[in-house]
Amino acid sequence: MNFFGYERPDGRVGIRNKVLILPTCACSQETCRIVSEQVEGTCYVGNTAGCSEVEENLKICTEMYSGFAANPNIYGTVMIGLGCEGCTPESMKEAILKKTNKPLEVFVIQEEGGTVNTINKAVKAARKMVQDASLVQKKEFPLSELFLGVECGGSDATSGLAANPVVGNVSDRLVDAGGSAVMSETTEFIGAEHILAKRAATPEIKKQIIGICKDLEEHLANVNQNLRTGQPTPGNKEGGISTIEEKSLGCIYKGGSRPIVEVLEYAQMPTKKGALIMDSPGFDVASVTAMVAGGAQAIIFTTGRGTPTGNIIAPVIKVTGNSKTFQRMKDNIDFDASVVLSGEQTIDQCGQALFEELVAVANGKVTKAEAFGFNECSMQRICKFI
């Protein structure tokens, strides 16, 4: 089984063909929004950060936003900065060029003489880039070129019993085909990290899996906070999940069963193919955002309670194991995995059907979140603004 995608000059393959309008900081995000609204074929991500932050937060911001530009679903990027921010246009440009050699145009509001001049120039550049992108023809590629992110949010008891195991089956299928699948949400490994660590391909990776969970608990303890005051969430509890350990045991199913070959930092691009883990918070939007910044071309997102979450760069396939949620939120949910609980299909049969849905989306099928144009974006923080 193959798929048709867009070959990029850096050797990767996109399943979408967009031009990104990228702000370096909060002060240029509205200018980016206006530019994107004026040029069909572009997409825009907000940025409420990028200045007045500690060094580690600036590092995260640079890693994430340069990762958006490098994502293979992006043909090229028009970046707009203010000119005096901490996350400078120069540093962001350098970070992007380290990750990809795709088209890049940079405008700085203070140097261009204000918003109007910047918009005029950026709109012209974006229109030209969209025209160039339209000339890229799809080619056939093996599934080994796919990089999938797996996520869960608004979980209930059906997530761990049906939806997550089905997604884990898809993850295994893709890895077996030579592709990659990354699972994030370190918060929801805790209590099951010893089970997850058994899948480590090496002793060092096993140590890293245990380590990221230990580091998270210690970080919260150092600021007098307890993870369990926010996990499970009120919705999780209403859905039948009583403890973080119970939530984690269901959560890790979505990562499949293949050996874990690399543990990634937040928003980091992988250096290996196969089953991967990314160290990220349990907040689903921040985790999805980071996996997209890491290069995931598509996301499969399980939800028992139901959520409309999407991403403007990568299509998000929404899956539920709860038949009532599927009926109630058909506007948002793409795939019904409740057939596993009803006994109509096995996990393997349902996994095959979802895998075929993933390939269809890779070939251009629009997900429900894409049809709405949902554009959630959130970023992990080390501490508050300063």
Out of 105, 134, 163, a domain closes at 134
Q: What is the mean pLDDT of residues 333-353?
A: 98
Looking at the fold, whether 302 and 207 belong to one and the same domain comes out as yes
Looking at the fold, whether 130 and 153 belong to one and the same domain comes out as no
Q: In terms of Cα–Cα distance, which of 198, 190, 188, 195 is closest to 152? A: 188
d(CA 132, CA 102): 12
386 inside domain:
no
7 inside domain:
no
Question: Cβ(316)–Cβ(150) under 8 Å?
Answer: no
Question: What does the pLDDT look like over 267-280, one tens digit per residue?
Answer: 999 999 999 999 99
Percent of the chain predicted with pLDDT > 70 = 99
Please report the pLDDT score of residue 384 as a whole number.
Answer: 66
Question: Cβ(77)–Cβ(70) under 8 Å?
Answer: no
Owning domain of residue 297 = 143-372
Question: What does the pLDDT look like over 56-111, one tens digit per residue?
Answer: 999 999 999 999 999 999 999 999 999 999 999 999 999 999 999 999 999 999 99
Coil, helix or strand at residue 298: strand
Please report the pLDDT score of residue 244 as a whole number.
Answer: 76
Total domains in the chain come to: 2
d(CA 156, CA 140): 38
Q: What is the mean pLDDT of the chain?
A: 95
Please report the pLDDT score of residue 20 as a whole number.
Answer: 98
Question: Cβ(338)–Cβ(323) under 8 Å?
Answer: yes
d(CA 251, CA 336): 18
Please report the pLDDT score of residue 385 as a whole number.
Answer: 67
Going by pLDDT thresholds of 50, 70 and 90, the confidence category of residue 235 is confident
Q: Has residue 33 got a pLDDT over 80? A: yes
